[in-house]
Amino acid sequence: MSAIDALTLAVVQAGLQQVCNEMDIAFSRSAFSPVIAEADDRSDGIYDRDTGALVAQGEYGLPVFVGTMQYSTGELIRLIREGRVGAPEPGDIYIVNDPYLGGTHLMDVRFVKPVFVDGSLFCWLQNTGHWPDIGGMVPGGFSAHATEVEQEGLRLPPVKLFKRGAMDPEIFSIISSNIRVADQRIGDIKAQGAALAVGETRLLDLIAKYGRDNLDQAIREIRARSAERMRAEIRGIPDGVYRSEAFVDSDGVVNEPLRIALTMTKAGDGLTFDFAGSSPPCRGPMNSVIATTLSSVYLAVKHVFPDVPINAGTFEPLTVLRPEGTFLDARYPRPVSGCAAEVSQRIAEAVFLALVQAIPDRVTAAPAGTSGNFALGGFDPAKDAPYVMYQITGGGYGGNADHDGLTNGCSTIGISKTAPVEVMEQYYPVLFRRFALHEGSGGAGAHRGGFGVHYEVELLRGEARASFVMDHGRFGPPGVQGGRDGAPNVVRIHRDGGVFTPPHLSKDQNIAIRAGDRVEVMTPGGGGYGDPRERDPALIARDVARGYYTPEQAVALWGRR
Amino acid sequence: MRRVAGIDVGGTFTDLLLTEAGPDGLAVRLAKVPTTARNQAEGVIAAIAAAERRPADLDLVIHGTTATTNAVLERKTAKVGLVTTAGFRDVLELGRRTRPKPYGLFGTFAPLIPRELRREVPERVMADGTVRTPLDEDAVREAVRALVAEGCEALVIHFLHAYANPAHELRAGAIARESWPNAYVTLGHALLSEFREYERGTTASVNAAVQPILDRYVARLQRELREGGFSRDLLVMNGNGGTVPASHVVHEAAKTVMSGPASGVMAAAATLAQTGLANAITYDMGGTSTDVALIAGGVPEVSAELTIDYGLPIHLPMVDVHTVGAGGGSIASVNRAGMLQVGPESAGSEPGPIGYGRGGTRPTITDANLVLGRLDPARLTAVRAGVSLDAIRDAFARDLAGPLGMSVEEAAAAVIRLGNVHMTGAIRMVSLSRGYDPRDFVLFAFGGAGPLHAVALARELGIPEVLVPARPGLTNALGCLVADLRQDRVNTLNRPLDGLDMADLRATLEAQAADALAVVAEEADEIDETTVRYGADMQFRGQTHLIRVALPGPDITREAMQALFEDAYHKRFQVRLPEIRAVVVNLVTSVIGRRRAFPLSSLLDPAARAGTVEDSRLGARPLYADGRWQEAAVYAREALPFGARIEGPAVVQQVDATTVIEPGAVATVDDIGNLRIRA
């Protein structure tokens, strides 16, 4: 490799990364949906023209999309080749949200734009944005009871929403007629398209500077280098077979836990993930499509080796055996609304629990691992308008070899922030009675887990329906290396002078509430790391003084106070 | 004779610029002394002495300090207590569900106020400002008593929705002051009257946590200055790029955080004004980090959404400085995939680059500059425990050139090029991603290392011209000298424009202006002219991000405001949204007392100036550029005559910085002493 190549490579890699980062920022800053604008539930990337393989993806994008978007692009390319979707022309943007075509759940809407150089296709740009509603039986789309995908909302195959630069008003009309609170979607659609335009402009600058052929060559080389980088990390893991399991509380319809069984084999510079033995496809919406299952494995590995850059090469050394016949490889018409937010995190948890056996210094105990989706849909009589309110919450991260777990960390598949209480109360007819730390929730250990959140929200006016898709209500996040589990998730509805607990604990939908009723949620704490008896007594005393644990809990958990 | 001193305390050096205006014109004195970390006042006094003056000689001191920034970053802050709304004491600890980095689940966060010092009292104000639960005054008394007993030195009172109705905070504040042993009581809404309880509360807690520290420091500095015979005014820099009288600065101590980078940008703005330019991207490269900011139309961009450290947002208007962790000390290495990497690891200033001779062994950007002759390798011998150039070349051969299969020179050139690529990313973030084309700007290069890289960087970005000011290494001290007095006021409305009472809007803006004008008027002697700037933070209904729209005055029509907003939005996002209503979220007023300008040409001593370019030439040395060694002329900056023209390759050296003029670039010295380089 000559001198100029090493330099060009590094420069091109940084340049491609900047293109993606700028798309991420432009999308968030101009979006209307708070899920995108405030919570950054979106991702932008560049994909190979022939295969859809990932070339580069924004550093500020949602992790769960790290592996899905290349499959989505790949499926689009296949459908174009088969003549089932129109061929790309300059200025076109395809819209698609079909989960079975390389997606997640229906709310994650993908825009795909071809980039042409001198009349021939150079690559694809794609972004995914989580829309606040996509129709279906539940406001916000997180159904807990759906048994087929049609109940979950509007499903769009790849169609050209923009043709040669102009939006097709008829397709827009179909979309806006099928979703709730449609009046702001025009703003999000323009923002989502404009972000791709920003990326195209910057990418064309890069192509003009380095030349199409050089850029192609650099992209191939970067991919090979990333694969090598990942192999180097994997070589540091002791050879062996590592087994772990994780449980989803229920599918929302049948009240039985779903099991994820993982056998991870490390040999040489490769890692193989086999999910054989996991539960079969389920009736409720906790099925995962294959793209989401793969992405969940990738993002978990990336969390353990965060310095490896993201492109298709990064994941070449990882082999995921297709989990046919399990709920981790859902086919039409299985409902899937829980896969992106919850099942993905259980899959990642299984990967963490396998890896921590092999490299205990580099992996934490299980994090809370639920997105805490709570949707409240109703009609505000004071504003004479319908609304859909979303609340997401974090939980405790796992203790680890270095320190206690982080409190109220983001879901592992997300980077989204929660909306401030003051913002929620400005926009929706609700009042928070508390937004506090979930006391006692951190799993005991030499390094304890971080704490979850404990909030309680009251409906001020009118009537509304509450829906929940959360997890870890039945079992807390596991501790490791002798540490205890974190506290599980709790949902309680205070109404009619009584307390209602959903039968599935963490999942339910359309629970009717009226003004004065309250919803109370306590999110999980992280798992503990190491033997609790090895914890520094001064830290136990500090935690009691802070009210993190009662003196009685301290005695029970650590044998001292 | 009127003497004014601008003194900036940086991480490594304390810099002083002193102007002496007398009947014979203006003279300037400079000094650079080591920063005294434990007590910054010692370094300040030492700087005055190094300029051969006594405090008694001075009429005005304008001071930039890192005391508060460092206290927060090192978590060496005061013990603070919190009184807050029942049910919400954990807001400051929970944050908004984040993690330190997008990938990786390690990392910790400790709030500035620990949980045992956060007390709840019954009270509740609703989103519309109405009271749901009256304030329990006895509970406030009890909480305050308990926090005093715990030994808290400062207090924060932070209630939900206090921006909409501050009555409970005001009353609780009055109760607290009856028994609080000092003046360190911060009310959440008083500093920042905007919604978002975590950001507002954190901003208040930063203020309280640094208040006692700043107060003690300013008192100590004033005492030491007084002991030296100084009895006049002291002004202190704020992060918004303005100065505040010392008597007011402690009240809003949080505003001094991040003031160092801001003062450099203000110096750049003043220099541009005297040069007749309006648009610049400022590029301040130091040892561990690089600060980039944008000046459009002569005015530095200001943001109220900066973050000091993980989990510590500070939502006060500050000069919008974008910092990247790449500087002269950034370490170059070959990663596990065999790819060259520069940063994020840094050798810092201890042990620093190999060339510093303080024990550094890994190649850095500064070392690459030495290898290529861009920095003067002859000066290495001047360093104590000197390091030879061969030792640096050996490290490049071992760590980079060998593994990459390059020559040592090629490896060093690649390090500089890649370091520049990281900087171009930062520059694009402050320009392109905000709708500005960098080609419409000059690159204003300062800091010890900025002028070394600026021409190459400008070429990378297509920026046509680089401007290196007369004293690139003393820019922050210059910022103190030229910074205006500034007061900002913010109020949240959060109402659709079409439903707004424009008379109310006018009254709010006028009240903000009157309040801020009163503070600025206290320093009337220093001010040539006072201007008031009005603005509004706006959004389309349903959005959460804001766009700052400048307003021509408080008396504005609804239609005019709508048009201003739509234009600003289109400029930023290339989108028009006639379908959606505009919302006014915040009203903002800034009062700026413009300080008397002084001629920047006096920064270069006329006595040192040579008659011709040739006379300012020190010699020549080999410089590696464009893939080969070339002979570069070396000039003394202080000796360059105004109007001088230099063709690259050339190097211009001065005490505080080195400028590299790449082959093909042409530099001229303009009529106030700036080096203007056609990249």
**Whole-number pLDDT of residue A151:** 95
A109 within 8 A of A43, measured Cβ to Cβ: no
From B89, which residue of chain A is nearest by alpha-carbon distance?
A436
**Of A37, A4, A347, A374, which is closest to residue A191 (Cα–Cα)?**
A37
Closest CA of chain A from B433, distance in Å: 6
Average of pLDDT values for B33-40? Answer: 85
Q: Is the pLDDT of residue B257 over 70?
A: yes
Residues of chain A with C-beta less than 8 angstroms from the C-beta of B572: 29-30
- The span from the CA of B328 to the CA of B333, in Å, is 14
**Whole-number pLDDT of residue B98:** 92
Q: How many CB contacts within 8 angstroms connect chain A with chain B?
A: 221
ipTM comes to 0.94
From A304, which residue of chain B is nearest by alpha-carbon distance?
B104
Closest CA of chain A from B202, distance in Å: 13
Tell me the pLDDT band of A32, cut-offs 50, 70 and 90.
confident
- The span from the CA of B563 to the CA of B303, in Å, is 22
Higher pLDDT pick, A297 / B37: A297
Q: Is the pLDDT of residue B382 over 80?
A: no
Tell me the pLDDT band of A257, cut-offs 50, 70 and 90.
very high
Q: Is B88 on the interface with A (CB under 8 A)?
A: yes
Q: Do A417 and B417 touch (CB under 8 A)?
A: no
Closest CA of chain A from B138, distance in Å: 21
From A19, which residue of chain B is nearest by alpha-carbon distance?
B425
Tell me the pLDDT band of A167, cut-offs 50, 70 and 90.
very high
Closest CA of chain A from B591, distance in Å: 29
Q: What percent of chain A has pLDDT over 90?
A: 79
Q: Residue B52 CB: number of other CB atoms within 10 A?
A: 10
Residues of chain A with C-beta less than 8 angstroms from the C-beta of B96: 417-418, 420
Residues of chain A with C-beta less than 8 angstroms from the C-beta of B87: 432-436, 456
From A401, which residue of chain B is nearest by alpha-carbon distance?
B106
Two tokens at B140? 């406030």
Q: Is B303 on the interface with A (CB under 8 A)?
A: no
CB-nearest to A433 from B87, B93, B197 is B87
Element (H, E) at B346: strand B340-346
Average of pLDDT values for B389-415? Answer: 94
**Contacting B residues, span 383-422, partner chain A, CB-CB under 8 Å:** 404-407, 410, 414, 417-418, 421-422
Instruction: For chain B, give the mean pLDDT.
Output: 91
Q: What percent of chain B has pLDDT over 90?
A: 63
pTM, full prediction: 0.89
Closest CA of chain A from B494, distance in Å: 9
For B401, the 3-state DSSP assignment is helix
Residues of chain B with C-beta less than 8 angstroms from the C-beta of A13: 339
- The span from the CA of B365 to the CA of B340, in Å, is 13
Closest CA of chain A from B542, distance in Å: 6
Closest CA of chain A from B346, distance in Å: 16
Cα Rg of chain B, angstroms: 26
**Whole-number pLDDT of residue B434:** 66
From B433, which residue of chain A is nearest by alpha-carbon distance?
A22
**Contacting B residues, span 163-202, partner chain A, CB-CB under 8 Å:** 163, 195-199
Block residue for tokens 């020549």: B620
Q: Residue B25 CB: number of other CB atoms within 10 A?
A: 9
Tell me the pLDDT band of B209, cut-offs 50, 70 and 90.
very high
Residues of chain B with C-beta less than 8 angstroms from the C-beta of A194: 573-575
Tell me the pLDDT band of A332, cut-offs 50, 70 and 90.
very high
**DSSP code string of A91-115:** T-EEEE--TTTT-S-TTEEEEEEEE
Two tokens at B66? 């890192």
Residues of chain A with C-beta less than 8 angstroms from the C-beta of B163: 422
Two tokens at A134? 């996509």
Tell me the pLDDT band of B91, cut-offs 50, 70 and 90.
very high
Higher pLDDT pick, B193 / A233: A233
**Contacting B residues, span 110-149, partner chain A, CB-CB under 8 Å:** 114-116, 124, 126-127, 132
For B516, the 3-state DSSP assignment is helix
CB-nearest to B105 from A1, A38, A367 is A367
Average of pLDDT values for B38-51? Answer: 93
- The span from the CA of B140 to the CA of B163, in Å, is 20
Q: Which residues contact B367 (CB under 8 A, 6 or more apart)?
A: B353, B354, B355, B392, B395, B396, B412
Closest CA of chain A from B32, distance in Å: 37
B430 within 8 A of B322, measured Cβ to Cβ: yes
CB-nearest to B90 from A28, A187, A437 is A437
- The span from the CA of B368 to the CA of B397, in Å, is 12
CB-nearest to B575 from A13, A191, A228 is A191
Instruction: Write the secondary structure of B275-305 as one string of H (helix), E (strand) and C (coil).
Output: HCCCCEEEEEECCCCEEEEEEECCEECEECC
A438 within 8 A of A522, measured Cβ to Cβ: yes
For A183, the 3-state DSSP assignment is helix
CA distances from A406 to A40, A135, A352, A447, B454 (A): 20, 36, 16, 11, 41
Q: Do A26 and B116 touch (CB under 8 A)?
A: no
Q: Residue B378 CB: number of other CB atoms within 10 A?
A: 11
**DSSP code string of B426-481:** HHHHHTGGGT--GGGSEEEEETTTHHHHHHHHHHHHT--EEEE-S-GGGHHHHHHH
